[in-house]
Amino acid sequence: MNIAIIAHDSKKELMVQFCIAYCRVLSQHNLIATGTTGKMVAEATGLSIQRFLSGTHGGDQQIAARIACNEIDLLLFFRDPISAKPHEPNELNLLRLCDVHNIPVATNIATAEVLIHGLERGDLDWRNIVNPKA
């Protein structure tokens, strides 16, 4: 499966720790991420991650385009719900696209844990029917 990873600045370290904890599961999938988050996770875990631009420079929009083309199967997006972000409309568009294309999305570590365990059990294998790999 294609898993996208995004984290706000205040949540990047949490994302790194999450990816360290679930490195074995994540290593079995294709990972893409916004620039800084992807760099931090790759350095901490050794996982191979396709990196786009940083979120503030359009990386979240690059991932949104992949979602719109049904090329993402799962989004892990650790958001900071307290601090307002200047590019928040882009983030809302990203979440809306996940809803339109039935992409499972986690915006916090609690939901990410549920999704990663479901991924490990095969609960998300239905995505292979929706988005068959050649």
What lies within 8 Å, CB to CB, of 7 at 6+ separation is 14, 15, 34, 37, 77, 78
For the record, the structure tokens of 19 come out as 């990816």
Catalytic one of 9, 60, 99, 125:
60
Closest C-alpha among 94, 98, 132 to residue 115: 98
Is 99 one of the annotated active-site residues of the chain? no
**What's the chain's Rg over C-alpha atoms?**
14
CA atoms of 13 and 109, how far apart (whole Å): 12
Hey, which residues are catalytic here? 60
